[in-house]
Structure 1
């Protein structure tokens, strides 16, 4: 009963967050309109929202990623999924998945929520997916290089430094072996690092 209640509560909070994000997009987007995607097939391909230019025939596919595990907290980093387990088998995460149509990630952080049903503020950072992957490639960080490290880190929960990245200023790998059933391996990147290298910009 408790699990069902929590699940329903989580869905309620996600729906409320979508409404709140729509108001943020509506007030902050310049030269673009937005359209929320409800088609599950498109969502599975990494498309939650469409940004459409007012004058040019340009549409960008936006994948929203929200730090819902850290409500009322402001983390300086974000987790980009590299790998996870499903039925005991390793699956490819969304960052390097070539089947995803995503143009930009809309990273939702510093989400503040007042009970019972009100979001008060958040930060939205738009990350250019193609630029991010290309930049990581120049630093020697790609799907192959990370997979080569997975065998040595998957069995150990926690933070794992990478020779390609400065752990304090740029990023590192993190294995969630003990607290999540999917045991995801994430590339943790600092948001300011992404902004400084013009891979991202703050919308809100």
Structure 2
């Protein structure tokens, strides 16, 4: 098992111009600035949006399905936990150290024969609202941690009683095929919309 971290960073840089073109077209009431500072990126800030009328700033964390180029998935994986040096760490969804206001979920990423990214979808998710709605469903950081502690050696899908796996979501353990052994909350993109926490940008 090996980490794809460096390969993903390279793909993210290649993807950025396409994303920027979409932001310029669809976020006309905002100016935006890409964040290059590693410390800020680790705080969940890839992009700073500024409202042109109020000067209010919003921090955006871009999350791209880079393992699924030229595929269109109806779901997105929200990281709950991962391992580093055999120690379980807090994933980005509930990490209080993250300053993210919005996630830009980048899906249906397509590229041409020269491996140039040509199109993608972007779903805008309000992080605070998402966490609140999950909490209302009984899916908070503590309850999900308890579930994970009961399945430390599990690999694959785990159905949660709070979610319909067919049209809402489920847990997924990647303990055998990824070095970081992430545990992800898999949620349907249209379920996020029904929850009132997201909107499709493009």
Residue number among 170, 185, 188 corresponding to 2:186 in the alignment: 188
Structure with greater helix share of residues: 1
What is the rounded CA distance, in whole Å, between the counterparts of 1:64 and 1:140 in structure 2? Answer: 26
Q: Highest relative contact order (Cα 8 Å, sep 6+), 1 or 2?
A: 2
User: TM-score, normalised on structure 2?
Assistant: 0.94
- The alpha carbon displacement at 1:153 in A equals 2.1
User: Structure 2 CA distance, aligned partners of 1:46 and 1:144?
Assistant: 21
Deviations 1:160-182 (A, max 9, x none): 01111111111110000111011
Report the RMSD for the aligned CA atoms in angstroms.
1.6
Alpha-carbon distance, 1:13 to partner:
2.7
The equivalent position to 1:24 in structure 2, one of 22, 25, 48, is 22
Residues 1:102 and 1:10: Cα distance change in structure 2 (over 3 Å): closer
Q: Distance in 1 between the 2:23 and 2:155 partners?
A: 37
Unaligned runs of 5+ residues in structure 2 are none
CA distance in 1, matches of 2:90, 2:5: 25
- Alpha-carbon contact 1:153-1:160 (below 8 Å) kept: no
| Residue ranges of structure 1 left out of the alignment (5+ in a row) | none
| Aligned-partner SS, 2:150 | helix
Tell me the alpha carbon deviations over residues 117-173 of structure 1, each in whole angstroms, 9 at most, x when there is no partner.
421110000000000000000000001000111122231110001111111111110
What residue number does 2:132 align with? 134
* Paired residues, number: 200
Task: Choose which of 32, 35, 39 in structure 1 pairs with 2:33.
Answer: 35
CA distance 1:90–1:10, shift in 2 (3 Å): closer
Give the equivalent residue in structure 2 for 1:143.
Answer: 141
Contact between 1:154 and 1:185, CA under 8 Å: does it hold in 2? no
User: What does the per-residue CA deviation read over 1:31-51, in whole Å, with 9 as the maximum and x for residues that have no partner?
Assistant: 111110111110000000011
